[in-house]
Amino acid sequence: MQYLGAAYILDPLGEGYGAPHDQDPIRRIDAFDCLTFVETVLADNSSEDLQKIRYAGGEIDWFRRNHWTEKDWIPNAMALELIMPIEYGHSAKTFARVNLRRWYKEKVGVDTDSRPFEMSVAYVPRADSTPELLAKMPHETLVFFIRCGVGNSTVQGDMIAHTGFLFGQDLMHAGQKVGVVRVNFFEYMAESRFCGVAFYKIIP
């Protein structure tokens, strides 16, 4: 797949030159973080424009960007018919609380009247993420890695900590220390502290 070996840069995309909050380029293919890698590959292999994947209604505006994976990004990708959830039997659920007003203030220095919100995501617990389960997955699957609070099912902020593509037992992702690589899913999980994963079928 394209982009193997590309560098990792956190949050490499923005609204372009002259934008009020994030002047990073609208598109680049030399460096990614985990989500922009997924977004770019999905756009390359579908009829959807990258901006329709990244922004509500495709409107290039920082406040319209799908910042929250669980609340914004996944529902938008499903509405575009790019992905659909995979039923995988036993699952757990984690919850998150987000103080959106404080988050906007910290991110871009803008004070809004945005209200706090809660979100949740179902996932396969780490112990149930087995070779037998992966063997049932479509050959090309989108996988999200879930973080959980220690001893608490509720976390503050985004519950989804990482994402990539699953091909059998191979994970292709943009890793913070290694850039875009293809690695063994179980070896990657063994080196991580994620409490589980969520799987989505990529719709051709």
* CATH number of domain containing 189: 2.30.260.10
57 occurs within a structural domain: yes
Please say if the pLDDT value at position 90 is more than 80: no
2 occurs within a structural domain: no
Q: What is the mean pLDDT of residues 54-80?
A: 95
183 occurs within a structural domain: yes
* Strands of 56-159, DSSP E: 83-85, 92-98, 117-125, 141-146, 154-156
Show the tokens assigned to 201: 């079928």
**Amino acid letter, residue 97:** R
1 occurs within a structural domain: no
d(CA 14, CA 171): 26
User: What average pLDDT does the chain have?
Assistant: 90
pLDDT of residue 117: 81
Query: Domain range for residue 16?
Result: 7-202
Question: Which among 59, 54, 49, 19 has a CA at the least distance from the CA of 36?
Answer: 54
pLDDT digits (tens, 9 = 90+) for 105-132: 888 888 888 887 888 888 899 999 999 9
Per the structure, the count of domains in the chain is 1
Neighbours of 172 (CB within 10 A): 21
pLDDT digits (tens, 9 = 90+) for 148-174: 764 455 555 678 999 999 999 999 999
